[in-house]
Amino acid sequence: MRLYIIRHADPDYENNTITEAGHLEAKALAKRLEREGINKIYSSPMGRAIDTMKHTAERLGLDYNIEEWTEEIWDSLKIDDTPWGTIAAWDIPGEIIRKGDIILSYDMWRNIPYMDKKADDIVETFEMIRKHSDEFLERQGYRRKGGKYACHRPNTDRIAVFCHGGFGLTWLGHLLEIPLPLIWSGFWLPPSSVTTVLFDERSDRWAVPRCIGLGDVSHLYEAGLPVRPRGIKANFD
């Protein structure tokens, strides 16, 4: 099985949809996903994800399902009163997270400046994502046990989930068992990007998630469209 974690196209946050540029991105994305052989589509309930997804669903002639748990997690993870204003936990600068005196593990929240204010909310949100992720993947045929997945119904499905930047990185942290501050400060998912997770089956019993492509925007280059720095806070250009 391949899981495609897709960030929505260029957002119009105010109107909970995507911009005109975003629609161009979503059309290019749909063309790329058609080549990938996507056969299942899921989406966040938020407008910008749905409006991105519909281009693919219409091009492929597929129905889609809404997964409520894949909505963006900004409301639960925003941090007020920082030197950078109100920001999401995933936007705390890497220089704060990687000071050298913090052991980055799953339970280090209270040791990270600014993030310590949201420690309980981070834990609660992450546990929610873990729970729903495991339920979702069991529906797809893979039952989580520890850090690996029992293949109780192995398949070759190609599953697209249209969601969000912060959520996508957080979900990826769970799938790959990477501490969230490292994945938050070390990676970025551009608008309309495709992150591909192969459920790597080295035996007929177990599968382990393996990222074989992160934040890919080759469809934008093919269509002659720019990569828009939504979520990058400083020197992108």
Q: What CATH number should be reported for the domain holding residue 91?
A: 3.40.50.1240
Return the bridge partners of 4, or none. Answer: 160, 196
Residue 228 falls inside a structural domain? no
pLDDT at 104: 73
Per the structure, the complete domain to which residue 27 belongs is given by 2-223
pLDDT at 106: 66
* Placement of tokens 């900004």 in the chain: 74
SS3 10: coil
Residue 189 falls inside a structural domain? yes
pLDDT at 84: 93
Q: Which residues contact 31 (CB under 8 A, 6 or more apart)?
A: 59, 219, 223
CA distance 117 to 121: 9
CA angle 19, 25, 30 (to 5 degrees): 125
Residue 230 falls inside a structural domain? no
What sign for the dihedral angle of Cα 163, 213, 158, 193?
Answer: positive
The number of folded domains in the chain is: 1
210 near 43, Cβ under 8 Å? no
Cα→Cα distances 31→38, 118, 141, Å: 11, 40, 27
Residue 90 falls inside a structural domain? yes
Tokens of 179: 């501490």
Residue 232 falls inside a structural domain? no
Residue 231 falls inside a structural domain? no
Q: Which candidate, 174, 212, 173, places its Cα nearest to that of 195?
A: 212
pLDDT at 234: 86
Model confidence pLDDT, tens digit, residues 66-125: 999 999 999 999 999 999 999 999 999 999 988 877 777 767 788 889 999 899 999 999
State the DSSP code for 15: G
Q: How many helices (H) and strands (E) does the chain have?
A: 8, 12
Model confidence pLDDT, tens digit, residues 2-60: 999 999 999 999 999 999 999 999 999 999 999 999 999 999 999 999 999 999 999 99
Overall size of the chain counted in residues: 237
Model confidence pLDDT, tens digit, residues 133-163: 999 999 999 999 989 999 999 999 999 999 9
**Are β-strands 2-7 and 158-163 bridged in parallel, bridged antiparallel, or unpaired?**
parallel
- CA 151 and chain centroid, separation: 23
Asked whether the whole model's pTM tops 0.75, one would answer yes
Residue 235 falls inside a structural domain? no
Residue 75 falls inside a structural domain? yes
Gyration radius of the chain's alpha carbons: 18
The maximal CA–CA distance of the chain, rounded, in angstroms, is: 52
